[in-house]
Amino acid sequence: KAGVTQTPRYLIKTRGQQVTLSCSPISGHRSVSWYQQTPGQGLQFLFEYFSETQRNKGNFPGRFSGRQFSNSRSEMNVSTLELGDSALYLCASSWGGDIQYFGAGTRLSVL
């Protein structure tokens, strides 16, 4: 069974731009969660989607948004990028929301 796939693996953007990250969950998993990981803040929850609906949301500004498609694939968008958005963005899928299977992440650098 293929694992969670995140694309791209690396991304360099400049301040003010926007970015879209993609996540393909494990086949059969309907829950997809997104996290931001930085050395100073650790792993911070962004949001969770289940069957195309946002089920949970973390404490991030509205510049961070996401969506889930009918095939459970998910995208995350960050608009008006700031230097502080530089981080490793991780996607995790699960069948019911408990045990999460993480992808390798997308490393975003904002210059």
Partner 1 sequence: SQKIEQNSEALNIQEGKTATLTCNYTNYSPAYLQWYRQDPGRGPVFLLLIRENEKEKRKERLKVTFDTTLKQSLFHITASQPADSATYLCALVGRNAGKSTFGDGTTLTVKP
User: Which x/- pattern, by CB under 8 A, does the window 7-36 give for partner 1?
Assistant: --------------------------x-x-
Which of 83, 87, 94, 105 shows the shortest CA–CA distance to 14? Answer: 83
Measured CA to CA, the distance from residue 49 to residue 85 in angstroms comes to: 21
Residues 6+ apart with CB under 8 A from 104: 6, 9
3-state helix vs strand vs coil in the chain, percent to 5: 5, 55, 45
Kindly tell me which residue out of 20, 45, 60, 79 binds partner 1, with binding defined by CB under 8 A. Answer: 45
Least spacing, CB of residue 14 vs partner 1, in Å: 24
Q: How far is the CB of 78 from partner 1 (least distance, A)?
A: 19
- Could you say which DSSP state residue 111 is in? -
Spell out, one character per residue from 48 to 67, where the chain touches partner 1: x when CB under 8 A holds, - when not. Answer: x------xx-x---------
Contacting residues toward partner 1, per CB under 8 A: 4, 33, 35, 42-45, 48, 55-56, 58, 90, 92, 97-105
